[in-house]
Structure 1
Amino acid sequence: MNPLTYKYQKAKWKVILYLVIGIVVAFGAIVSAIFGGLSEEDCSPSTVSVEATSKSQRENAKKLYDFFIKEYGATPQGASGALGNMTQESQLSPDAVEDKSRALSGHGLAQWTAGRTTNLMNFAKDKDKPWDNFGLQIEFMDSELKGSEKGAVKALQSNSVIDATTQWQVLYERAGDPQMGNRLSYAQKWFAEFGTSDPVASDTIGNASDGALESSNLACDDGSGTTSNNSIVKAGESMKGYFYYVQQHPSADLGDDLLNPNKNGGTDCSGFVWLALKKAGYKVPENMGWFTGSMASDARGAHKYLTEISEKNAKAGDIIIVNQGAGAGNNGHTAILLEDWKGKDTNILEQGGGDSKVNEGKFGVNFATLLNGGDVVLARAHK
């Protein structure tokens, strides 16, 4: 090949090469324009956008409950378990701060602490919203549940209020001082409020009876002026002097056999009534799964374990329940009647109230702090 031919061929291939490179670059630009220059961040799950301001505790609870149901397909029990935890943490106030002298102490609905507090503040800055904005904190929670805290989502799928409350505390809150009795009481309160007409049946939804319970399931008058549920009195009296008072049940130190609980273990008023009914052979929810609020709701609605009765029919072995509001924690109390109803002079058997252990007392004395505006329910247990 002569030199001129060689130079011609070389120049031709250079032109072709440049043309190919130009086409590739142009194609890349077109692809980038079409797909908007996707980045790794763009491929991450998008979070919800929430515009909401903090209102009453109940309104905040309902907003969060609906968020869990809609965005995560939560069960009523699962959503209530998360709510119970956050109520214990912040009383559902987004501006709650554990210690204002410490910048990284617990902040907000879930009392996010340390690095999670920093993440909340940065998230708020990116969104150009105040950190204590209620809607902003729901968005932040959503971002955690789709990222670093995605393992906690399984708590929202639980069919047990107790299990959901426990799992959310372990997987999401990781509280240094769990106070599980309080968390469970709040969770059951929200379940009774939002979840079902049968608040004590934590594994079923909407199966409450519409009518009165069949008389065969109720304790009946034996003609002697007392009722056949005197076995409840005997069971309760066999525990006099037992237990220390703690708003948690079942407490681990009660032992594995709740028909014969450890007398040195701990329980509260509704836990004691549960133990007495269980020992006497009456129906009770699994694993002490009730509190005074849900007991009253059941007595008036589902009739799964209790049915409300009138004062004139209330006798020894029946149950008295008084609630302020929803009845969680110190806002509710329950006991066993030791005689026919006599109003404030009626003798009762209780855990707490007049003593830290199971003791006898008077209704008007031991329930005194709840009677100013409290909701009084007399109920009979079911066999």
Structure 2
Amino acid sequence: MQIMDYFVEKGLTKEQAAGICGNLQYESGLNPGITEAGNGIGYGLAQWSFGRRDELNAFAQSEGKPVSDMKVQLDFLWKEMNTTEPGALEAFKANPNMSAAEASNIFYDKFERPAYNPENKNNRSEAATQFLAQYENNNGSQGAVADNSGGPSGNAPAPTEFNQRLVAAIEKQDANMAGTGYCATAVQRALSECGLPQFMGSGNGGEMDKPLLASGKFQEVSYADAKPGDIIVRPPSANPNDSSVYGDVSVITARNGDNITQTNDATYQFHKDNDRYDSKATFLRYTG
């Protein structure tokens, strides 16, 4: 069962299906078995919580299948769109000519309704546009979206080539996005350019390690082993007035001993002894 195909077969346009997928990618990494990090409240593709999670559990039980089943969750999501959560579907029907980005924004506002974060919303719409492009490149169907946590398969290079390509891609994003403060968007776009789907979770840089690791395509490495092309994820600062209140994600672009240069929408040095957050960083490497 391909997620894009599922919604197209239900009568949505491919742009609208991509808009849904862009949101689900950010909610769960398209992993139906994932539980929300930290509080454990949200669950599944759409990170259903509280009463809606209870309803999902009851629906799965009525179908005689595990709640983690992909088809069960898609059927439940479609049921919600037609009954208790009709806003997105009504908007889709009213405008069959919308773009993938427009569809993503509608699904964000009328179905998911997360705590508003403009960068997160923008990231979802960009992910939707990528889903649409990859779906069209595959002439629809096969390979557009994986059944679990993989996202669109893209055309990622072998691990031996990946780091070099990611360094070049993030340096391009630094030039394009200099000073915007959108570190997660910069890394997301660089990964996309390298043929990988966008494993962004909440969209906050400091939480990007969770969906990256959940994808099975990355593994954690030590500070001593980190090299150019590896990803650095730093947790949020405890100080609410800090510029890194949402954490930070970057790519190592150069290293000479302990002298590490990192890049996202800016280029700066990593300081391993900085107790504020550098010393708590996680280093991730693509393994394919």
Deviation of residue 97 (structure 1)? 1.1
Q: Do the aligned partners of residues 101 and 160 (structure 1) sit closer, same or farther apart at CA in structure 2, a change above 3 Å counting? A: closer
Question: Is this contact kept in 1: 2:25–2:199, CA < 8 A?
Answer: no
Within a 5 Å distance, the mapping from 1:68-79 to structure 2 comes to 68-71=7-10, 73-79=11-17
Gaps of 5+ in 2: 140-173, 201-207, 213-228, 230-252, 254-260, 269-282
Deviation of residue 101 (structure 1)? 6.6
Within a 5 Å distance, the mapping from 1:61-72 to structure 2 comes to 63-71=2-10
Q: Distance in 2 between matches of 1:373 and 1:99?
A: 23
Aligned mate of 2:194, from 307, 313, 323: 323
- In the alignment, residue 46 of structure 2 is paired with which amino acid? A
Within a 5 Å distance, the mapping from 1:327-342 to structure 2 comes to none
Q: Residue 90 in 1 paired to residue 31 in 2?
A: no
Deviation of residue 121 (structure 1)? 1.2
| TM-score, length-scaled by structure 2 | 0.50
Per the alignment, residue 180 of structure 2 pairs with: 243
Deviation of residue 180 (structure 1)? 1.8
**Partner secondary structure for residue 47 of structure 2:** coil
> Cα deviation per residue 1:7-37 (whole Å; 9 max; x = unaligned)?
xxxxxxxxxxxxxxxxxxxxxxxxxxxxxxx
- In the alignment, residue 161 of structure 1 is paired with which amino acid? A
Q: Do the aligned partners of residues 197 and 148 (structure 1) sit closer, same or farther apart at CA in structure 2, a change above 3 Å counting? A: same
Aligned mate of 1:188, from 129, 147, 150: 129
Q: Do the aligned partners of residues 196 and 146 (structure 1) sit closer, same or farther apart at CA in structure 2, a change above 3 Å counting? A: same
Percent identity over the alignment? 25
Deviation of residue 87 (structure 1)? 0.9
Within a 5 Å distance, the mapping from 1:360-375 to structure 2 comes to none
> Cα deviation per residue 1:322-381 (whole Å; 9 max; x = unaligned)?
5153477699x9xxxxxxxxxx9xxxxxxx96474489xxxxxxxxx999899xxxxxxx
Aligned mate of 2:69, from 116, 130, 133: 133
| Number of aligned positions between the proteins | 180
Q: Do the aligned partners of residues 160 and 126 (structure 1) sit closer, same or farther apart at CA in structure 2, a change above 3 Å counting? A: same
Q: Residue 176 in 1 paired to residue 47 in 2?
A: no
Higher-Rg structure is 1
Q: Do the aligned partners of residues 128 and 161 (structure 1) sit closer, same or farther apart at CA in structure 2, a change above 3 Å counting? A: same
Q: Distance in 2 between matches of 1:371 and 1:136?
A: 33
RMSD: 4.1
Q: Do the aligned partners of residues 99 and 160 (structure 1) sit closer, same or farther apart at CA in structure 2, a change above 3 Å counting? A: same
Gaps of 5+ in 1: 1-59, 199-235, 249-267, 271-290, 295-321, 334-343, 345-351, 360-368, 375-383
Question: Is this contact kept in 2: 1:80–1:161, CA < 8 A?
Answer: yes
Q: Do the aligned partners of residues 66 and 353 (structure 1) sit closer, same or farther apart at CA in structure 2, a change above 3 Å counting? A: same
Q: Distance in 1 between matches of 2:264 and 2:30?
A: 32
Q: Distance in 1 between matches of 2:124 and 2:177?
A: 28
